[in-house]
Every structure is written in C-alpha cells, then in structure tokens.
Amino acid sequence: MEIQNVILRGSFSPAVSSIQTRKSRLFTKLAAPFLSEIGSPKWVSMKCDCSFHSDTSPNKTILQRCRNSAQKAECKGISDVEEDKPKAKIRRKNLAVFVSGGGSNFRSIHEATLTGSVNGDIVVLVTNKHDCGGAEYARGKGIPVIVFPKRKDTEEVLSGEDLVIALRSFKVDFILLAGYLKLIPAALIQAYPKAILNIHPSLLPAFGGKGYYGMKVHKAVIASGARYSGPTIHYVDEHYDTGRILAQRVVPVLANDTAEELAARVLHEEHKLYVEVSAALCEERITWREDGVPLIQSKENPNDYR
C-alpha cells in the first residue's frame, strides 16, 4: 500500500492562522524519526490527527500525538501484511491403507476423512487376506482392494514393482499400515521414502520385531512385569518395527491385567493416536530434526513440536 498523505486537521484561532505553514513544517521535522520506526513505506498506511490549540505547546503536542499515531500505524501495518498475505491451501492427500485383519484402525481413519478431521481420502486398500474384515469393509464403502502378496493357489504373481505401479495409478501420497503382517517390499520403501507409517501395540523399541504382533505383544508385556505399554507409530524401513518413532501414547499396565484387557485399552488409544498422526501427515505438519528424528508440529501452536 502507498503511504497516505499526512493531513493536519485542527482548530486554529485567528491569532495563529498565519503560522499554519510553519507548524506544518515543524510537524514534518519532528515526526520524521517516528515515521522511520514504522519500516518500509511500501506497505504501511498511516493517518495522523495532530490538531492543537494556541494555548498548548505545539512541539509537545505534535511530538506526543505523532508518537501515538506512528505506533498505531506500525501495528496496523504489520496486521495488514499478515492478513493480506495469501495462505497456501493444502490439497487433500491420497492415502493407501494396508491391513491383514478386521481393520479397526483403518475404519477409524476412514471415518475421520469423512468428517474432515483428516484432510485426505483413502483411495485404495491393500491386504494379504482377500476375505478379512478390513477388505470387506473397504468393498462396502466402494474403496478398491488390492491383494498383496497374491495367494499361492493363484497363477497371478504381483511383484513389489507391480504394487508400486498400482499405487501410483491411484496417485497415493502416503501409506498407512494398520495391522498388516507382511514385510513391506524394498521397492515400495524406495518408491515412498518417509511416506510409510506403521502402528505397533507396544512402546517400541520394547516388544517389537518379527513375531511380535497382536495378542503376543500384550502377553509378553504382562509377563515381563512392565508397568507401562501403549501404541507406537513409526516410519517403515526394510525391517520389522525398527523405523524412526513418530508418536507414542502411554497406557498403564494394571496389576491384575489380562492380555485381552490390556489389548482393549491399547487399541482404544491406537484409534485416537493414528487419527491424530494421519491429520498431521495430511496437513504437512511433520518435520525432521537435524539428527533424523521426526517431529509433529502442533496445530494450535506452530512453535510447539512433539
């Protein structure tokens, strides 16, 4: 915005009307230091009312009122820039979810995409069990289903490269593993770096790795005497449960817990945590620390990371 002309408006008695020009020059001379504090004149709009009467010291009046006007103009100028600055709209992301069972986390995320809590859409489901609960749910919602790897009794063979091609045909941005029990092929990890997440029902790195899944995890936690458990969401690499940890939620292990009771409480937190992380992922609020640790930026306070 161009700086508006500074207009002197005031009540002048006949006795002082002849010195109006000198007062205007005096105003310009005294106000200059305060105008310079405002910043670049390209974007600050300022309008001062510096009226005074003959029985008031002109220098003092101009100095004080112009200081106040300059401060107000500075605040207004900064505010105008922030308001006028266009905010880039983040497009909705395309998500692929991998499941092997009932897919309760998959359902929670899908519902969140429908309500707007997650700025994305699940465009395809991948499963190694064509008749699992998650696959049935997907078909019922009109979500395409890919079976990978193919069953041994079928002649068709789907390689890791074929899976990459299939996902790219759906323009997938991120992959969410939600109870998928197969090792992810290297071709897929290379095709989607820092774009594949998995959820595990323990506080990794404890009780993770090959063979630790489902109820086996909760039984091992109780048997160990651990006082706390909970879900972990981590990035996926070429091994089981060894990728960088992104988020965790602590669940207490009670003295008389059974594996089933602990599993139910952990699963309850899984549903909430995975939705929160999926929302951050789709809103591009995940950043990487210099040492390679991923952090989630708070939506409410952009200066807060966790």
CA angle, 31 as apex, 27 and 37 as ends, to 5°?
Answer: 170
Neighbours of 87 (CB within 10 A): 6
Is 53 catalytic? The answer is no
Give Cβ neighbours of residue 302 (< 8 Å, ≥ 6 apart). none
N-to-C CA span, the chain: 39
For residues 182, 279, 95 and 243, what is the CA-based torsion angle, rounded to 10 degrees?
-30
Beta strands 174-177 and 145-147 are unpaired
- Which residue(s) pair with 295 in the sheet? 287
Helix boundaries (H) for 153-283: 160-169, 186-191, 215-224, 259-282
Question: Which residues are CB-contacts of 121 (< 8 A; sequence separation ≥ 6)?
Answer: 92, 93, 94, 95, 113
Catalytic residue among 53, 130, 200, 271: 200
What are the backbone dihedrals phi and psi of residue 106, each rounded to the nearest 5 degrees, phi first?
A: -60, -45
Catalytic center residues = 200
